[in-house]
Amino acid sequence: MVQRFKELLGSIVISVLGGGVGLYSPWTSFQPDGLKQCLSEFKRQLAWVERLDVTLGPVTDIMDPVSHNTSDKDAVDPENDFQREMSFYRQAQAAVLEALPRLRKLQVPTRRPDDYFAEMAKSDQQMQKIRQKLKSKQEAMEKSEKAKQLRALRKYGKKVQTEILQKRQKEKKSMLNAVKKYQKGLSDKLDFLDEEQTSSQGNKKSSGSQRIKRGPNAKRRYKNQKFGFGGKKKGSKWNTKESFNDVSSFQAKVAHNKGPGKAGKKALNKRPGKRARQKMKSRAR
Taking only the tens place, the pLDDT of each residue in 198-222 is 655 555 555 555 555 677 888 888 8
Tell me the pLDDT tens digit for each residue of 21-30: 444 455 556 7
Q: Which amino acid, residue 250?
A: F
> Can you give the pTM of this predicted structure?
0.31
Task: Among 24-38, 97-111, 123-137, 191-205, name the one with the lowest average pLDDT.
Answer: 191-205
Quote the pLDDT of residue 189: 67
Q: Which residue has the higher pLDDT, 155 or 19?
A: 155
Tell me the pLDDT tens digit for each residue of 46-91: 888 888 888 888 887 666 555 444 455 556 788 888 888 888 888 9
Torsions phi, psi of 72, nearest 5? -70, -30
Quote the pLDDT of residue 103: 92
pLDDT (average), residues 241-246: 85
Q: Which amino acid, residue 118?
A: A
Pick from 83, 91, 90: nearest CA to 134: 83
Listing DSSP states for the chain in one string gives: -HHHHHHHHHHHHHHHHTT---S-TT-----HHHHHHHHHHHH----HHHH------PPPPTT-THHHHS-HHHH--TT-HHHHHHHHHHHHHHHHHHHHHHHHHTT---S--TT-----SS-HHHHHHHHHHHHHHHHHHHHHHHHHHHHHHHHHHHHHHHHHHHHHHHHHHHHHHHHHHHHHTS----HHHHHHHHHHHHHHHHHHHHHHHH---HHHHHHHHHH--SS--TTTT---HHHHH--TT--TTTGGG--TT-TTPPPP--S--HHHHHHHHHHH-
State the average pLDDT for the chain: 76
Q: Using only the alpha carbons of the chain, give its radius of gyration.
A: 54
Quote the pLDDT of residue 97: 92
- Measured distance CA(48)–CA(99) in Å, rounded: 10
Pick from 89, 55, 87: nearest CA to 70: 87
Q: Which residue has the higher pLDDT, 190 or 40?
A: 40
CA angle at residue 96 from 95 to 98, to 5 degrees?
A: 65
Quote the pLDDT of residue 22: 47
Range picked from 18-32, 154-168, 243-257 for highest mean pLDDT: 154-168
- In order of 2, 48, 85, 118, 148, the CA distances from 8 in angstroms are 10, 22, 35, 42, 56
